Amino acid sequence: MTWQAAALLVAGFVVAGLLSYRQHLAYQRAVNALAAQENRGGMLLVSGRAKGRLRGAVVLLVIDRRRGTVTRAQAMEGSSVFARFRERPDLTGPVAGAEERAGSRLLGRAVHEALGMASRLNAGAIRPHPT
C-alpha cells in the first residue's frame, strides 16, 4: 500500500467520524429542544432506537403520564449520517396503538423500546403493546 492510499483511507475514516459526531450533535439538539418545549408536569420524554442491517430508526416520544397518550413524536429514519429528526403526528394518540401506527418495522421496534423505557420510568403504569 502506498502512502497516498493510506492517507486516503485515514481521511475517509476522519470524515466518517466527523459526520457521525455531527449526527450525534443533531440528536442532542433535538432532545434538548423537545425537553425545553414540553417541560410540563406529568410529561415524560423517552427515546428508543432500532438498528437494521443497512438502516436505523430513532424515535423521541413525549408521553402524558396521566392520560397514557403520546402527545408529540419525532423520528429519525435512514441509512446515512444525513438523516434528521422529523415530526411524526401519526404516532400521537393512545400509547396502546403507537407501535401499529409507526408505519415501518424498524420504527415500530424503536417505539416499542421507547414505550418500554416509559413503563420502567413510570413504575409500570404505562404499558406498551405486547409483542
What would the pLDDT profile of 19-57 be if each residue is shown by its tens digit? 989 988 989 999 999 999 988 888 899 999 999 888 889
Asked, for residue 19, whether it belongs to a domain, the answer is yes
Residue 131 has pLDDT above 70, yes or no: no
The Cα angle at residue 56 between residues 55 and 59, in degrees rounded to 5: 150
Asked, for residue 126, whether it belongs to a domain, the answer is no
Cα–Cα dist 105/33, whole Å: 27
Asked, for residue 53, whether it belongs to a domain, the answer is yes
Residue 100's domain comprises 3-121
- Predicted structure pTM score: 0.82
Number of domains in the chain: 1
Asked, for residue 28, whether it belongs to a domain, the answer is yes
Q: Calculate the CA 63 to chain-centre distance.
A: 14
Asked, for residue 129, whether it belongs to a domain, the answer is no
Q: What is the CATH number of the domain that holds 105?
A: 3.90.1010
Asked, for residue 127, whether it belongs to a domain, the answer is no
Asked, for residue 51, whether it belongs to a domain, the answer is yes
What would the pLDDT profile of 60-100 be if each residue is shown by its tens digit? 999 998 888 999 999 998 877 778 899 999 999 898 888 88
Cα–Cα dist 92/104, whole Å: 15
Residue 104 · residue 57 · CB < 8 Å: yes
